[in-house]
Amino acid sequence: MEKAKGTEEILDIGILNPIFDFVLSGVHIADREDVKHDSIVRILTAMNKGAIKKDLFTFSYTVIRRTVMDYYRKKRRMIIQKSTMVHFCDGADDEKGSTVDHFYGVDYEVGYGLADVRNDYLFHKHLFTNQEQKIISYMLFTEDGIDMKPTQISNQLGLNKSHASRAMNKLKHVCLV
């Protein structure tokens, strides 16, 4: 860390490498860059706000460790929507002399299909309380719902956040069974 222009600090990313090496050793390789990026953004934001009271190294270690936990907490909460690419042929296949119209579907992303989540929810709807049903129904059956966090949905519906948390846990359990 260097001092520049009085009290402003410039972050030397090189001093964070030992922290990243230590903390990110247990993180999946594919997720490391995302966690690094989020951590650096949080550290720089804290520096701009003047939130670092003592040691930048210790503060950075804490931020990086918490960022890893937040990243996986957020990732675990998400439902991955399956994407399907559909190819349509509307005429003759010149090479084979075919004139049959046909659809050809290809799954290019692995995930739990939104239709499957909806079906599992509807089949097990009796396991959810009225408040939880409102949250899950809003999430699964409205256009904006799937992109919103459960706590945002509960705020929008005027329900307690704990209902959203319980609803998501029940939905995960229902989908995994």
- State pLDDT tens for residues 98-109: 554 444 444 444
Domain boundary among 19, 45, 77: 77
Q: Are residues 133 and 172 in the same domain?
A: yes
CA distance 144 to 153: 10
Residue 128 pLDDT grade (very low, low, confident, very high; cuts 50, 70, 90): very high
What's the predicted TM-score (pTM) here?
0.41
Domain boundary among 44, 77, 110: 77
Measured torsion, CA atoms of residues 60, 65, 69, 71, in degrees rounded to the nearest 10: 50
Q: Are residues 89 and 52 in the same domain?
A: no
pLDDT in the model for residue 94? 53
CB-CB contact of 120 with 174 (8 Å): yes
What is the number of structural domains in the chain? 2
Residue 96 pLDDT grade (very low, low, confident, very high; cuts 50, 70, 90): low
Q: Residue 126 is part of which domain span?
A: 84-176
Would you tell me how many other CB atoms lie within 10 Å of the CB of residue 165? Answer: 16
Domain boundary among 54, 77, 100: 77
Q: Are residues 62 and 111 in the same domain?
A: no
Residue 25 pLDDT grade (very low, low, confident, very high; cuts 50, 70, 90): confident
CA distance 6 to 94: 74
pLDDT in the model for residue 10? 66
What's the chain's average pLDDT? 74
Residue 47 has pLDDT above 80, yes or no: yes
Would you tell me how many other CB atoms lie within 10 Å of the CB of residue 35? Answer: 21
Residue 152 has pLDDT above 70, yes or no: yes
DSSP 3-state assignment of 66? helix
Q: Are residues 102 and 66 in the same domain?
A: no
Q: Are residues 59 and 93 in the same domain?
A: no
pLDDT in the model for residue 22? 84
Q: Are residues 45 and 96 in the same domain?
A: no
Cβ contacts of 151 within 8 Å, gap of 6 or more: 161, 164, 165
